[in-house]
A and B are shown apart, each in its own frame.
Chain A
Amino acid sequence: MNKRGGEKLLSVWWFFVLTVVGVGIVVSVLMFYSAEEDTRSLESEILYNKIVDCVVDNGVLIQGISNKEFDLTKTCNLNEKVINEEKLFYIKINILDENGKSLREPIVGGSGGFPTQCEIQKPDENGKTTGAKHYAKCFERTINILYGDGKNGKLGILTASNNLGRKIGATENV
């Protein structure tokens, strides 16, 4: 066998290079395509919009929200199990008068750990945020509303989502 050709064909070094390149490309591609598409920020914004649409009617706070028996999930067509049991979402509604005084205790639902995660992710004075990718993504706004007999007030809503999908195996019953 020709010496130079034989060297190329049988070179352990060349097979090592091929293996490293191959494994590198396979691992990179698998990592890239198995990465989760993060829709949590979008979802928390959708949840916020849904709550505003539900509790505010033409700028006026709906009747009954100040009652202690007010059921947010039922009124706003939110699934009780997903919101309160599965701990994937968080909702906090603060109803304030024009001086910022609470008109009732906050309406809260979902995972109690999320407000801390939202707080941690808030940008500091330099505008930098922590890159905590496993923390819930949050959306918070305060809007002006009218309540009662046309009094001015504010509605503060914080929503958060940590809803990540899951892959289903071939044998899993769905």
Chain B
Amino acid sequence: MTAVPDRTGGAGFPGAAADSRSRGGRKVPGRRPRQDPAAAVADAHRREWAFVLAATARVAGDIDLAEECVQDAYVAALDTWSRQGIPDNPGAWLTTTARRRAIDVLRRSATLRGKLPLLIEPLPPVPGSAPPGPFPGDDVEIPDDRLRLVFTCCHPALAREAQVALTLRLVCGLSTTEIAQAFLVPEATMAARVTRAKKKISAARIAYRVPGTAELPDRLDAVLTVVHLLYTTGHTAPAGADVVRADLVERAMDLARMLHSLMPDEREVRGLLALLLLTDARRSTRAGPGGRLLLLAEQDMIAEGAALVPGALRGGYPGRFALQAAIAALHAEAPSYQQTDWRQIVELYGVLLGVWQSPVVALNRAVAVAMADGPQAGLAEIEELERDGRLADYRYLPAAKADLLRRLGRRQEAADTYRRALELTMNAAERDFLSRRIAETGGQR
């Protein structure tokens, strides 16, 4: 992974930086505390990569060239900032540097032009803006192209795994090695996946643009699905590699904040951010040997997430992320598992099934039904899902079923079903848990 930036410097979370952020050249409000240049570069890599790359792609008109120039700009930053100090607005410095470099390369070598050309819509002229100077990267307002970049990476003509890889690479600035590690695939496989996706964007002319109103709901759903997938991959990494795992979770959170700051009126974006905050707060609760400090941080996350929920639900039929966030909020705000408002959770899952007919949602609803109406009622629903067959290899189905059998005192059946869950589970912590349950219900390990 890239060096972890020093985030204790009081600059706030990345979303805050994105909200009040620079639009090329403008100063970030407030004074940045003195930082070590290397930490400042790492910090800017984390916060500004998407902005810098998106703006450079517009000038370069070529994804690979843009990436190279942005990489070069970060290398140059380390040297220049060490000698001359850290600029007030690192993002604008990096963007200008990368764009100048791109223009330079394009002027020098016409052959390089159009290696992986990107189809860029010209910006409408801004009334009263100055005509472009000799360096178009310098005196023209730099547009915030981050949304164009995200929508291009998550275009439905790309396979989901390619969308995920490209988003991490182009929007988050992760290296192919890092992405390969996070998804437990060989580096060569990941490199081929990224290259193929970039070629398709160029050859099939996937436009660098934010979709129009008619397409937006579907296209946005693809973007949110990718971000959510990053989060869940980090959350439930199948094996080891804790650092990589935590990083994916944070990247997903950064992306959700960025999207929310760029599309504040999109209810599903709000829903996704709320969902991630609320889920993540509970994740650390579960993991948490951290004591009071951790608890305060969790409470902040829960408060922030819960505050987003009403706005995500209001104004028409709520979407699937908003509904999941509402459910997560009920969980997060419950004083205990038993004292959770299971009745309302069952209702919300019912509405969720209406907009998203996923058997996983149905399974979650069954678990909530078991809490609201007793294990027998929940078991009936799970057995119905078993007959449906779509969750045949889904480990949480036998795990949930076994738990209900255990609560009904059907120990032998419970042990057998826990064993079925164990067969499907790779995650070490989950295997431990299931093995303990098998022993408790009297089965052999």
To the question of whether A and B form a pair in one complex, the answer is no
B residues adjacent to A (C-beta < 8 A): none
